[in-house]
C-alpha cells in the first residue's frame, strides 16, 4: 500500500473531526496526525487531543496540535486508530504499536471510534500473533498460561536497546501465536483469565455495543471501520455490535 493511499485514508478519517471536539489519537496513525495538524494550522480547527503513547504525543506537539489529559476531560468525541488484522465479522487484532492499555482507555472514553485499515489487513480469519501486555513480575507465568491455551508466546524485544520492550506503562508485551483463530470471543475470554495479563488487543466484535459501518472507495483504497458508540469490556475488550 503506497504512502499516497495511506495519506488519503488518513485525511478521510480526519475529515470526520469537527470543530470543538475532544479527540483520541492512536499509536499508529502518523498520517492522521499530520492531516489533523494541517487542519489546525490552515482552518483554525479547535480541538484538544489525548495521545495513546509518548511517540504520538511528540508527533502531535510537533504538528502544533493542542493536547489535554484525562485529568482535564473524561470523555472524547472521536478516537482514531489503526488495526493489524480485520476479519469479515469486523473482529480486530490490534497492539502492534505497543500502546495497549492507553489505547483501550482512550477508545472507551470516545463516543465514536474510527479504525483505519487497508486491504492488506483484511483477512478471512484472524491469524496474527495477539499482542498481550503483561506485568514484568509475572511475564513468564503469563507465557506459561498461554501454552495451556495452545498459544506460543514470544517476549517482544526493544529496538535500539538490549532486552524486552517496555510499554509507556512500564509493562512487557507477549506476542502470542494461536494460529488461525476460530472463535475470537472464546479466546478473548480465556486470555483475560491468564494471571499476569494487563491488556490484550484482540478485539471481538460480537460483544460490541452500538452501530458500526464500513467506509471505503473501492479496491486499492484504504477503508475505515467506524464504531459510533464504543464500550470496553472489564479488562481488555472493545465492544461494538451491529445495528
Contact 213, 227 (CB under 8 A): no
CA gyration radius, the chain: 17
CATH number of the domain within which 162 lies: 3.30.70.260
Number of structural domains, the chain? 2
How far is it, in rounded angstroms, from Cα 135 to Cα 168?
A: 12
Residue with cell string 458508540 = 229
**Residue 169 sits in the same domain as residue 134:** yes
Residue 216: pLDDT band (50, 70, 90) is low
> Is the same domain home to 161 and 116?
no
Q: Please list the active-site residues.
A: 103
Residue 218 has pLDDT above 50, yes or no: no
Q: Where are the beta strands (DSSP E) in the chain?
A: 22-25, 48-51, 76-82, 85-86, 92-93, 110-117, 130-134, 152-155, 172-177, 197-200, 202-203, 212-216, 223-227, 231-232, 238-239
Q: Can you give the CATH number for the domain in which 42 is found?
A: 3.40.50.1360
Q: Are residues 73 and 162 in the same domain?
A: no
| More confident: 18 or 116 | 18
199 pLDDT band (50/70/90 cuts)? Answer: low
Domain boundary among 200, 215, 230: 200
Do 145 and 74 share a structural domain?
A: no
Q: Where are the beta strands (DSSP E) in 21-140?
A: 22-25, 48-51, 76-82, 85-86, 92-93, 110-117, 130-134
Judge if 32 and 100 occupy the same domain. yes
Q: Which of 51, 103, 47 is nearest to 77 (CA)?
A: 47
Residue 25 near residue 60 (C-beta atoms within 8 A)? yes
Give the single-character DSSP code of 158. P
User: Do 59 and 179 fall into the same domain?
Assistant: no
Q: Is 196 left (phi over 0), alpha (psi -120 to 50) or beta?
A: left
Residue 100 pLDDT class (50, 70, 90 cuts): confident
Q: What is the pLDDT of residues 122-149, one digit of tens each?
A: 889 999 999 999 999 999 999 999 999 9
Q: Is the pLDDT assigned to residue 97 strictly greater than 60?
A: yes
Are residue 162 and residue 235 in the same domain, yes or no?
Answer: no
Do 64 and 96 lie in one domain? The reply is yes
If asked whether residues 222 and 160 sit together in one domain, one would say no
Sheet with 223-227: strands ordered across: 48-51, 22-25, 76-82, 110-117, 223-227, 212-216
- The pLDDT confidence band at residue 200, using thresholds 50, 70 and 90, is low
Distance CA 229, CA 73 (A): 18
Range of the domain at 181: 130-200
149 in Cβ contact with 193 (< 8 Å): no
Calculate the average pLDDT of the chain.
81
Please name which of 86, 85, 66 lies closest in space to residue 20, comparing C-alpha atoms: 66
Q: d(Cα 105, Cα 233) in Å, to the nearest integer?
A: 11
Q: Are residues 90 and 103 in the same domain?
A: yes
7 and 89, same domain (yes or no): yes
Specify whether 146 is located in the same domain as 115: no
Ramachandran class of 198: left when φ > 0, alpha when ψ lies in -120 to 50, beta otherwise? alpha
More confident residue, 207 or 113: 113
Amino acid at each position: 500500500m503506497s504512502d499516497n493511499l495511506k495519506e488519503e485514508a488518513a485525511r478521510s478519517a480526519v475529515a470526520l473531526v469537527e470543530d470543538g471536539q475532544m479527540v483520541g489519537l492512536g499509536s499508529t496513525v502518523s498520517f492522521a496526525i499530520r492531516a489533523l495538524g494541517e487542519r489546525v494550522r490552515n482552518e483554525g480547527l479547535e480541538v484538544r487531543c489525548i495521545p495513546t503513547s509518548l511517540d504520538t504525543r511528540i508527533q502531535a506537539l510537533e504538528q502544533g496540535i493542542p493536547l489535554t489529559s484525562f485529568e482535564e476531560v473524561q470523555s472524547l468525541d472521536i478516537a482514531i486508530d489503526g488495526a493489524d488484522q480485520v476479519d469479515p465479522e469486523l473482529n480486530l487484532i490490534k497492539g502492534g504499536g505497543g500502546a495497549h492499555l492507553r489505547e483501550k482507555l482512550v477508545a472507551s472514553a470516545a463516543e465514536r471510534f474510527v479504525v483505519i485499515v487497508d486491504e492488506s489487513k483484511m483477512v478471512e480469519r484472524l491469524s496474527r500473533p495477539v499482542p498481550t501486555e503483561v506485568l514484568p513480575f509475572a511475564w513468564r507465568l503469563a507465557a506459561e498460561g498461554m501454552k495451556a491455551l495452545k498459544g506460543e508466546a514470544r517476549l517482544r524485544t526493544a529496538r535500539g536497546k538490549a532486552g524486552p520492550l517496555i510499554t509507556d506503562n512500564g509493562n512487557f508485551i507477549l506476542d502470542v501465536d494461536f494460529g488461525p483463530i476460530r472463535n475470537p470471543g472464546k479466546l478473548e475470554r480465556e486470555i483475560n483469565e491468564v494471571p499476569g495479563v494487563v491488556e490484550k488487543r484482540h478485539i471481538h466484535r460480537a460483544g460490541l455495543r452500538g452501530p458500526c459501518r464500513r467506509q471505503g472507495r473501492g479496491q486499492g483504497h484504504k477503508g475505515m471501520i467506524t464504531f459510533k458508540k464504543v464500550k470496553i469490556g472489564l479488562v481488555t475488550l472493545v465492544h461494538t455490535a451491529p445495528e
